[in-house]
Amino acid sequence: MESDERKEDFMLLEIILAIIPIAWLIISMAGLKMAGYKSCGIGLVIAIVEGVAVYHMTVPEAITGTLEGVVSAVWPICVIIVGAMFLYNMSLRTGAMDVIKAMLASVSNDKRVAALVIGWGFSNFMEGIAGFGTAVAIPAAMLVALGFNPVTACVICLIGNAASPEFGAIGTPTLSAANTAFPTTITGAADASVFAQMLSEPTARLLIPLCVVSPFVIILLCGGTKALKGVVGITLVSALSFVIPFYLVATFVGPELCVVIGSLVCLVCTIVMGRKHTNIPEEYMLESKEEAASSDKPQMSMVKAWLPYILVVIFLLGTSKLVPPINQFLGQFKSSFVIYCGEGGAKVGLSWINTPGILMIIATIIGTAVQGASISDMGTELGKTFKGYWKAMLTVIFIISIAKVMGYAGMVMDLANALSSLLGNAYIAIAPLIGGIGCFVTGSATSASVMFATLQQSVAQQLGINEIWLVAANGAGATAGKMISPQSIALGVAAINLPGSDGKIMSKTIGWCVLYLVILCVFCFVGA
């Protein structure tokens, strides 16, 4: 009897210790406001020390587990970050982004239509292509230039961005979750894209309600329920023209392009509808729209301005499984190996050419060269990209390494056992909430996916339910959590140039965040 009690006490101690790395991340980032790369670096040290001292990892196992995390983070995730931000920075340098902004600003004199075009369609496009705050900062600044109240503009973009972060930056969070959570024994494949494909459809399915609701919420933010009068049709078209291609691409192609293609179709449909919308009440007229659209009009054709983004879509589709000959040819250029030296080490698969980051860099080089950029311009902006985003990349490297060490040490399994024993099948209803908390703390759907994907997968194993479903629920929850993340809000505050408005913006978004998470939790439980 006494022996059993000692055993239970020791198990409880192990569970408490397993929570410490995660608790540290929450406290340090949300409470102490510590920079992500510093917090995650310390968190990695904590995980390694615990793994060796408490969970009986050998030092070589801890080192190789960490190394696996580093390799998995650098390729392909950090490469995608570099590719996405290189594309965006070059668009600024060549003036292409000015042309795109002017086009969007010239659609309609109705502030409600402008909010849909910029705060919904364009915001999601920037999330799909680049992510990392561009989806809030750029559209919010554009709306302010059109005469929107700065706080309202920021809230609109945070809400508009709440349905797509899990597929942002060419599917980085979903790819990261797949690479972290699932051992290769599931399919015998070493390519994370296989698991990403498995995750893509259920994640998109869970997000459908948010994709339909968000455009209507944006209209409500423009003037309450009365603002819906006269624009219900446009709003519905804007919602459906995004969600239908979004879901179809996620289901049949994968996570990389579902938001990009969904947002492009949405932009076209919303712009067409907006140009036909002429009966505009005076209270919704944009006073400064024409001035913003016409001032210093850049001398570049629309096709040329969009060319790098068009090439990204063409390259990613052309090298996908939709075109087997090209996909199979490029698939030859890959490496597969085991890094972790302990029992159960998974294969790490690296595709050297057919990976989103490399394809984005190639598209950027070709597209911006046509726009007139020189090799020197590209080299300068590529250097700026590394300099500007090394902290974000280091954060990703550390947090994926934490996940690998915790997984191999057995910490994740201990937490999974505790949660499954405590909550049983009721856990399904809170799975999205876990992802939401992760994104709130880290400010990143990628980090949230990595932080808790393995935990969700392990809990699903314990409960005997679909592992893919719970990992997908984690990613869906992360999208909702992003709208109240201090990091996301801080980017918006900087874009609208209104220091000190963080609290006001959070107070206006937190209610919608709670509603979105409740919707996701219900759908997750019913759909399991």
Place of tokens 């439980």: 525
CA–CA separation, 401 vs 454, rounded Å?
Answer: 12
pLDDT at 188: 40
Q: Are 90 and 364 in contact (CB under 8 A)?
A: yes
- The DSSP code for 191 is -
Does the pLDDT at position 376 exceed 90? yes
Q: What is the pLDDT of residues 185-230, one digit of tens each?
A: 333 444 556 778 889 999 999 999 999 999 999 999 999 999 999 9
The residues spanned by each domain of the chain are 17-527
Q: Span 345-366, mean pLDDT? A: 85
For the four alpha carbons of 47, 48, 53 and 56, in that order, the dihedral sign comes to positive
Q: Span 368-397, mean pLDDT? A: 89
Place of tokens 């005997």: 464
What share of the chain in percent tops pLDDT 70?
92
338 - beta bridge partners? Answer: 347
Does the pLDDT at position 106 exceed 70? yes
- List phi, psi (to 5°) of 186: -65, -45
CB atoms under 10 Å from CB of 432, counted, come to 32
pLDDT, greater one: 62 or 14: 62
The amino acid occupying position 134 is T
Burial class (CB in 10 A: 0-12, 13-18, 19+), 366: middle
By DSSP bridging, strand 334-338 and strand 347-351 are antiparallel
CB atoms under 10 Å from CB of 4, counted, come to 8
Q: Span 53-62, mean pLDDT? A: 92
Which pair of structure tokens corresponds to residue 239?
């919602």
Most trustworthy range by pLDDT among 34-38, 219-223, 312-316, 341-345: 219-223
Most trustworthy range by pLDDT among 127-131, 135-139, 431-435: 431-435
- Give CA torsion, residues 250, 254, 259, 260, to 10 deg: -130
Does the pLDDT at position 56 exceed 50? yes
Which pair of structure tokens corresponds to residue 259?
């938001």
Does the pLDDT at position 352 exceed 50? yes
What share of the chain in percent tops pLDDT 90?
37
SS3 187: coil
CA–CA separation, 146 vs 229, rounded Å?
Answer: 21
Tell me the CA distances in angstroms from 345 to 114, 184, 291, 497, one per residue in order.
51, 10, 60, 49
Return the H-helix or E-strand segment holding 350: strand 347-351
Q: Are 65 and 337 in contact (CB under 8 A)?
A: no
